Each structure stands twice: as C-alpha cells, then as structure tokens.
Structure 1
Amino acid sequence: MGAIRVDKLKSKLVLSGVAAIAAFSFALNADAARMDMVDVSNHNGYMSTAEYNSMRTEFGVKAVTVKISEGTTYKDPYATSNIANVQSAKLYVNGYHFAHYTTKSQAIAEGNFAGRMAKASGLPVGAVLAADVEAGQGSVSKATNNANNKAFMKQVKKYGYRPDVYTMGSWVGTKMDLKKGTGWPASYPYDASGKTWYSWSHAWQFSSTAHFRISSGNFDASQLYGTYYTAGQKSTVKPTDKKAVKANSKKNSKQPAAQSNASAKWVKESKTYTLKTAVNLRTGASTSSKLIVPLPAGTTVKTDRAIIQGGYRWVRQPRSHGYGYLVTGPASNSLAYVKGGASHTHYTVKFGDSWWVIAQRNGLSMYTLAAKNGKSIYSTIYPGEKLIIK
C-alpha cells in the first residue's frame, strides 16, 4: 500500500485470510526496519505461493495485506488468488480497501461494499480490513475525515473484520487523527536503518521500493508494532535463512537515491495513461508542489514529457492553462523506453488459453513469453489478465 502518498500510483490493498498463523513477538532490529508485512494488489499481477514462501523464508515477512476493493464498484481481480496463495504459504493475510469517500454516506456505502467483497474473496472473519485513505480526502476537513473513517470502520465490523486506517504520515494530525495504538501510517525516509517511526501505531510502512528475489517489481514493506495484523497469535513459522533475512532487510530499508533536480532532464513522451488509483495532479514535479486536483482512478491522462526527479518518475500533462504534473512510479521506473520510443503490446488472456496457446498465436516460445512477464510456464494465468507479447 500502495504509499504512501497520493502521488504514488499504488493500487493495492489487502485481502487476507488464513487464520493459520501469524503473529509474533517483535524485537526491534537495530540494523534496519523489519519487513514484517507486505501489501499487494492487481498492480503486482498474479503472485504464486512460491513467491510468498520466498518472502517468508528469505526476507522474514510475517503477514500480507491484499487489496480487495476500491470505491463502490471495483473488486481487485487478484484478491481471491492472493488470499489463497498467502494462506498456502502459511502467512497471515489481511485486506484493504482504497477509499474514495468524502462524506459519511459515501463512507458507509464503501464500508458495506468492502465487507461484501472481502467475504466474496475469501478473507477470513477476524482479519484486518483497512481503509486506505490518501486520495480526495485532502480537500475536506480533519473533523469530516475523522467522522467518515469512523463510519467506514463501523460498517466493516458488521462483517466480522477488524478495522484500521492507512494514510500518509504527513496527514496524521493534519488531515485526520489516529489514536494511540491504532493506524498504519506511511512515511519513507531515505534510510530506515536503525530507526523506529510511528511506534505508537499498529504498523509503519517505511518503503515503497522493496524487492524480493523471485518476484518482479516494487513492493510496499511495513514494520509491525504489536500483534494487530497477526491476530495476536504466536506463529510457529520461522524464517529458514536468518542471515538472508538480516541482509535483505538492511538492503530494502534504503530508498533509491533521488537524482538532483539540477542533473535531471525532461524527455519527450507521448503516452496515454489510465490511472489504476487516485493520483494528485500538481503544479510542478515535486511532492511539495501545489495540488491542482486529485485525479480519481479510471482517469485518462495524456502526457508530452517525462522526468526522473525527487525519487519519482514524473510526467507532464498539457492543460488548457499551462501544465499539470503527476507521478507514474518510483525513480526505478526507467525513462529508457521513452528515449527509445518503444512501447509494449499486450494480449488479454481468455478462457481456455494456456502459455502454449498464447505463445503459438503470437510467434513466441512459451519460455520467452513467460519471461517477458516475469513469470514461469508453471505460473497460473487468469482470464482478463494482460500479458506482454512485444
């Protein structure tokens, strides 16, 4: 989770399920923030049981929070498989809902939708179902956000889930209140080694750029305080490679170095984006630039320039009066493809498709096709999933 900032394209939140394990006694790691919990969503694509096993044994991950829903109409297509595979890997699973609400009635409606989708996806009763509050809520008062969050959480409880609120650390105390012993703030120091932030909360998300050995892309990593996200149970599951866990935690506690503004250069990019989640449109390529408007999920944005700056990949949107700027991901999202003018061609998986069928249809080998998508030919693919073929 996704964050985190609204500036971050994060489409993720959690579905959880297994009441098989989870919770642990936590001792602070003096070397680096611990990767106790990871959150995933459709943004990460299909995640196998093997990937979750690797997270647990090599990186010390104890819990996974799965995106379940967004607004009142969107159900994450990978929620069910993520919950099942997290459980198979014997990790504790929770869920999250990306919130759009700005009124109490909307919060109630989204709480009911999130609860229904969590049930439909297999999230076990007793798991955490958090509200990811980081989008349009910045335009309403703190008192209104507090009331709306309370209304959402009240609805979630009716479905048997334990509620919580995830938000940006900069919003705590300014855009909403999180009581001591609650909440899941996100704040990304460049180096999280030896630091303990927000220790009064349930969890602190300290990175949006964690990497795992057999998984592709960036992940959000959080350190847990207490046992709220592990159901207060003691787990018998232990990492099998303690040296690897320590080394990997240290490595992932550091954010990618941001390029200096002086050396960063804009390059041409004529591209159309469809936002997977809400993103802030700003007056400049900086998270401190003035907010123009929060763009909701589903918005189509046409760009003409891109740049790596301030730890993020920014794009420029021509507007009737000047330009708007928004983040498309972390700085690790290279501009190389823009300079080369290359783009990907995708194939949408249909019922009855297999790696072999799709590969033959597009003049590829199964192994090449799977590799292009960061998978193996043994990975399960689902109808509706988009695969890179060129």
Structure 2
Amino acid sequence: MAREIFVDLSSFQKDLTVDDYEKLGVKKAIVKISESTTYANPYIHDLVDKAAAGGVNAFAFYHFGRFTNDAQAANEAKYFIDNAKNQVNVKPKTLMILDAEINGMPTSSVIVFLKALRDAGFRTGFYTGKNLLASFDLEEIKPYMDFFWLASYPTVAPADKNPDFNYFPSAKYVDAWQYTDNLLGMKVDGSITVTDNGNNLFNASENLSQPNSSKPVAQSVPSSTQAHEWTDSLGMTWHEEHGTFITGGAINLRWGATTQSSIIAQLPAGVEVKYDAWSRDQSGRVWLRQPRTNGYGYLVGRVGNEAWGKFK
C-alpha cells in the first residue's frame, strides 16, 4: 500500500498560509471542529479554505473530548454533530474522530460517543496517545471505530515526511500513526497512514460532496482578473476575486456557503460587503466570501442571473 502523510489542524494553525500548505505538500487533513460543549473552532472555515487552496483535497474532522461519564459523552457527541452540520455542512459517511487525551475517560463513554456518531451516519475514528492507551479497553472500542489513530513521538526535533518506523508504536488495529507535532518545522502535527483502511476512509469521492458540474457563466459576477481557483471541503469551486457588493435588501450573512449554515447577522439594504472570492452552488446561488477577523462570512449575491444587490 502507498502510505500517505496528513496533517491535523486547529486554531493553533490559523496563521498557516496557502503557500505553507503547498510547502507541506499533503493531500489530506483532519480539522478540529469542537471541544467539550462550550467551544466551536472559530477558524474552521479559514483552515479548510486555505488548506484546500494549498492542495488538500480530502478532509476528516475531530472533537477534543472532555467527558468523564456516559451522559457527558452523549452531550459532547451531539455538540460535535450539530457543529459539524451547521458550521461546515459535513456530509454523511465523513470520518468523524474522537480525540481522547484526558485522564479518567471511561471506555463505556468512548463507546457512547462513537455510537452516536455512527447512528448519525458518519464513519467513526478514535485517537489517543500511546501513554494513555492502557487506560482504554481497545477490544471493547474496536466494534464502534472504523479508524484508529495513535500518537507517539520518537523525537522532539522537527520531523520530515519519512518517519522512522523503528519507533512505530506496537499496538493493535492502528490505521494511522501521528509521529510528530512539528512537521517540516512548521508547528503542525504530522501523521502517516499505515493501512489501506486508513487511506480509504479519506477518499474524497466518498467523504465529500461532488463539485458542481455546471460552470458559472461570465456575466454572473463582476469581471476581474482571477488569480486562482480551488475546491473546498463541500465540493464547491471558488474563484478568487476582490470587489464590493452592496446589498439590495435584507440578506443573511452566514458562517458557511449553505442555507443551513449558522447566521452571523442579517444585513439590511445598502450595506457594503468587501469580498475576496465567489462560488456557484448546485441551486444556482452565487455565494460571496467576506474575510473576517475570525475566519470568513458568506452571503448570496446572485441567484441565477438575478443580482441581490449591486457590484462595484
């Protein structure tokens, strides 16, 4: 099998640029969505967008667990699922992972969490560190996890993309090994798949929605020189373009480019919105991307050939 390097991303990697992702040269990423029942990653859209623009074409997502009993596990699973659907519109069969790094997390609660993910239609993953592995009953967890990801760092020095398998952690069922927290000296966790199952669960054609086959017509958006385009985790093709859109009526500004995404604010008529990219969804809506201090906002600027405001 061909082993593949991938990275995992959280707010700690918010300053990575598209160029940084191109230097990392990875095609797969696991992105943090939530933690406990009080934290949702405010940089999720920025991380996904930049990673996709830098060459990543397959995504999975994770939740940092803080639960110590079954009831808390059920609540955290619901929080993870709700944020996955509302913030990034994660598709069914996507790989969704529990990050189990705290002491006192019962095996029974891990199973409650993973079962909730599976019941919601997702593939399930379990991540922990080699130092904590003995505190879990892996045989009990195995029927509920589709993917096992284990961390063990052989060195504190910056690591390259060729891990030393003399240090591979001896454990059953491992699909991916996280071998460094400083891949290429860029302060990003680096992992490698070690089974075909590990590779297949990242298959973009299965885990992500397919790109829209209908191409936007030239007059659908204001003309400009487009520096590049990319496909995001929802399968939408984005075109870089810098301009201003003036709302023609009340329009919802959302955290994602779907009508199911959470609303940031309702913009009244006459508001000027600076945007840096556009994309057309399968329903014919042209979405505009607004850069924000904590990520991006998205709004509909046109449906079909009907503009919902003015471009300048």
Q: Place the TM-score, normalised by the shorter chain, in its bin.
A: 0.5 to 0.7
Match of 1:223 in 2: 192
Q: Does 2:120 correspond to 1:159?
A: yes
Measured in 1, the distance between the counterparts of 2:45 and 2:76 equals: 19
Distance 1:163 1:235 in 2: 16
Q: CA deviation at 1:117?
A: 0.9
Counterpart contact for 1:67–1:79, Cα < 8 Å: yes
**Is this contact kept in 2: 1:107–1:149, CA < 8 A?**
yes
Question: For 2:190 and 2:107, how far apart are their aligned partners in 1?
Answer: 26
Q: Secondary structure at the match of 1:189?
A: coil
In the aligned structure 2, how far is the partner of 1:55 from the partner of 1:113?
Answer: 31
State the secondary structure of the residue aligned to 2:181.
strand
- How far the C-alpha of 1:184 sits from its partner, in A, is 1.1
1:183 offset after TM fit, Å? 1.6
Partner of 1:100: 66
In 1, Cα distance between the equivalents of 2:203 and 2:98? 26
CA–CA distance in 1 between the matches of 2:18 and 2:32? Answer: 17
**For 1:225 and 1:189, how far apart are their aligned partners in 2?**
17
Per-residue displacement from partner, 1:156-188 (whole Å, max 9, x unpaired)? 123332111111112213344254974211111
Pairs within 5 Å for 1:76-95: 76-88=41-53, 89-95=55-61
1:218 Cα deviation (Å)? 0.6
| C-alpha displacement of 1:70 | 0.6
2:91 to 121, 124, 141: 124
Aligned to 2:176: 203
Q: Which residue of 1 aligns with 2:130?
A: 169
Of the candidates 273, 292, 310, which is equivalent to residue 382 of structure 1?
Answer: 292
What is aligned with 2:2?
Answer: 26
Distance 1:233 1:102 in 2: 29
Correspondence 1:44 to 2:10: no
How many residue pairs end up in the alignment?
201
Distance of 1:184 and 1:157 partners within structure 2: 17
How far apart, in 2, do the equivalents of 1:173 and 1:218 lie?
A: 28
Matched ranges for 1:198-347 at <5 A: 198=171, 200-211=173-184, 217-232=186-201
Structure 1 residue 120: deviation in Å? 2.1
Deviation at 1:232, TM superposition (A): 4.9
Name the amino acid aligned to 1:382.
R
**Which runs of 5 or more structure 2 residues have no equivalent in the other structure?**
206-271, 276-289, 296-312
How big is the shift at 1:86? 3.3
Native 8 Å contact 2:8 2:31 kept in 1: yes
- Secondary structure at the aligned position of 1:65 is classed as strand
> Partner of 2:86: helix, strand, or coil?
helix
Which structure features the higher share of strand residues? 2
What 5-or-longer segments of structure 1 have no aligned partner?
1-24, 28-34, 237-350, 355-379, 386-390
| 1:193 partnered with 2:164 | yes
CA RMSD of aligned residues (A): 3.2
* Matched residue SS, 1:173: helix
In 2, the alpha carbon distance for the partners of 1:157 and 1:73 equals 22
- Confirm or deny: 8 A CA contact 1:128 1:229 kept in the other structure: no
Report the CA distance shift for 1:232/1:71 in structure 2 as closer, same or farther (over 3 A).
closer
1:229 shift after superposition? 4.6
CA distance in 2, matches of 1:168, 1:68: 20
Aligned counterpart for 2:29 among listed residues 64, 76, 86: 64
Q: Distance in 2 between matches of 1:233 and 1:222?
A: 13
| Cα displacement (A) at 1:91 | 2.3
Q: In 2, are the aligned partners of 1:63 and 1:229 still within 8 Å (CA)?
A: no
User: What is the TM-score when the length of structure 2 is the normalising length?
Assistant: 0.56
Question: For the residues of structure 1 that align with 2:2 and 2:109, how far apart are their CA atoms?
Answer: 32
Cα separation, 2, equivalents of 1:227 and 1:382: 39
**1:235 Cα deviation after fit:** 8.2
